[in-house]
Structure 1
Amino acid sequence: MTVQSSQFQMSPRVKELRKKVREFIDNEVIPNEKKIGKYGPEGIEILRNVQQKAKDEGLWALGLPKEIGGGGLPFMDYVYINEIIGRSQAAMVALGTHTAQDATMLHLFGTEEQKEKWLYPMVRGEISPSVGLTEPEVAGSDPTLIQSTAVLDGNEWVINAHKWFTTNADKAAFTTMFCVTEPDAPPHKRASMIIVPTDSPGYEIVRIVPTIGEFGNHPEIRLTNVRVPKENIIGNRGEGFVIAQKRLGPGRIYHCMRWLGQAQRAFDLMCERALNRYAHGSLLADKQMIQKYIADSATEIQAARLMTFEAAKKIDEGSDARIDIAMIKVYGAEVLHNVIDRAIQVHGALGVTADTPLEEMYRNARYARIYDGPDEVHTQSIARRILRKYKEGNAWDPADF
């Protein structure tokens, strides 16, 4: 499906690049995505080969600035490309876009020394990042409750922390830790972001947290009196919340873009199945219930797509897009789940097997309603900001958001 509105018209160059990315994902990534996802020696070798092909074809890290080693695509152009990247979970790593949030954070707030040591190798794909935000003892949706601490002792930070869902920490070169450094400051000025190499003494991978029936790449970690140089702090003391929002804000819209690609892939599979599966006297495509699944899915994807592009456009213009991002974070996750769920239903028993990508897509879709803020928090934020308008004597005008 494509949006024909002139407001979101792709240039011929972006259309061609989008086609090239789609062909690369279909031909190089999807045939290897299961092996890449297992992270074994064979999968790592395949991944490295695919990454090199992406670099050779000029498809590497397209959305990152050229000055840090990326492809330098303007933000709105990258929106259309990121939608295609979403077709495969492995495509982010294969095309070097998985570092976008951490790269943005270090690009904006890192020192030149931090960039040389961590940012540039990360963008080149030589090392991987991780970030330590969520803690098992407190609500992850309320980061003012974090208990991890970093105390300055001479020229070193001494860090004690217990985190989980520290994605890829077992494979990462460093973890950016969200820690309380200013315990007497106001709640949103208590925390700082500090780079911790994962080979630091006292850095422990407790376990890989099992999730929805299988092991994923979400370690639980514990840091006990871990010492890192004073210079490893990102930005200034107490700026952790500001930096985290700069990291998470673009991340949420990136998620929503990729969900469109995932939903579209599930939609493609559903339509192909309906046109080829015969049962009870006709093809599934001839049955009204299946036609409704297809019509509802097409409508929801198109609505989510337009909402996502509108939010992206406001970000690109520098407008306040907080309401838009919250709306699409909630609605986009719902659409993703709905479309995959219908696709599984059309596939019947086959849909819940690993013979199609749908069962893995379904499990990953369930995460979408939790990570980077649960639905409930974003929904509350939407309502609170709209009601504030009415308290001020104004009405909610969708054109204002």
Structure 2
Amino acid sequence: MNILVAPILGALCAVSVDGGSLVLQADVVHGPEGPIENGRILIRDGKVAAVGEGLELPDDGHLIELEGHLSAGLVAMGDQTGLKGEELDSTRQVMDGADLAFGYDKTAKGWQAFLEAGVTAVLLTPKPGALVGGRTAVIKPAGAVVQRRAHLHVCFSTAAFKRGVAPASYPGAISMLEERMAAPVGGFALVSKGLGVLLAAKTRSEALRAVAFAQRHGLTGALSGVARAGDLADEIHAAGLGVILPPIATAADPRVAASAVALGKKKIPLSFSLGAASRSPHSLRLSAVRCIQAGLDRDAAWKALTSGAGEIANAPVGSLTVGHDADLVLWSGDPLDLASRVERVWIEGKQVHGDDDQ
């Protein structure tokens, strides 16, 4: 028997929510310690209270028996859906005070597509264009802000260079960043106190500059946007950074998926990005499957879609850990089988997508 229970639960019969506890049972539950056949998830006050097989139904509980696989929701990294311009200012290259959470519009079109793809959390990041694009945020599609300050976004690519606005070169950009690290205020003061950084780059040389900067200052966080980051697995591992992998389409260069395998062998934390608001959220699973086909361990790929992404985002999302919000997805089959479809989605224990929405 495999059961995870919140320490404060005591006897399960004492657990209740508004109107009673909710217990979801599925053919397979993808729990924190692996798949559980005929598993159950106990939900109380919108949070995961217990996960396992053989959970007894509380006296005030309501049992829903489901066919399929039940898992934590997916986490999409690096998207701009719903932003209303908080991240845009063509006159400034350092916007460390910009807070993307303020620009989040939960009523924006597009959020339904995330739920249909099984995505229950999104890391909002600025569009490329500023050396320092502000503080990233973790939100739930058309829902709450989970983490207002996930990282400080720093761009090491040429997208940060604009005519007539400093910096105009890589040395100038590094110099500007070093000045702010030496006398930290605003977002840099938060970094000096432990806020992670999200380092955006494209090419190998840009990635090396970003990794060296992080290592020089002992920064935590992740490297984002580098298609072949695996070529720098040793350097990234030495810096203690995670990696947000770019979308990997069916026709992508095979070396991109192979790069994820190299990162996985080094146990570097991984996650997957959408890269653009126009990209379908369904591409997250495609990216993961492409990496599995290249040799990435299935468990590592699943973690990159869920709890590993949550860890990189510095937010309690993508996991069925006891005490986390009950953000769940019911799949028709194995979620890493692209033929499987999303049947239902719950956020904080409330069904928000699927048949008989309630």
Larger Rg belongs to: 1
Tell me which protein shows more strand as a share of its residues: 2
TM-score by length of 1: 0.21
Return the structure number with greater relative CO, CA threshold 8 A, min gap 6.
2
Greater share of residues in helix:
1
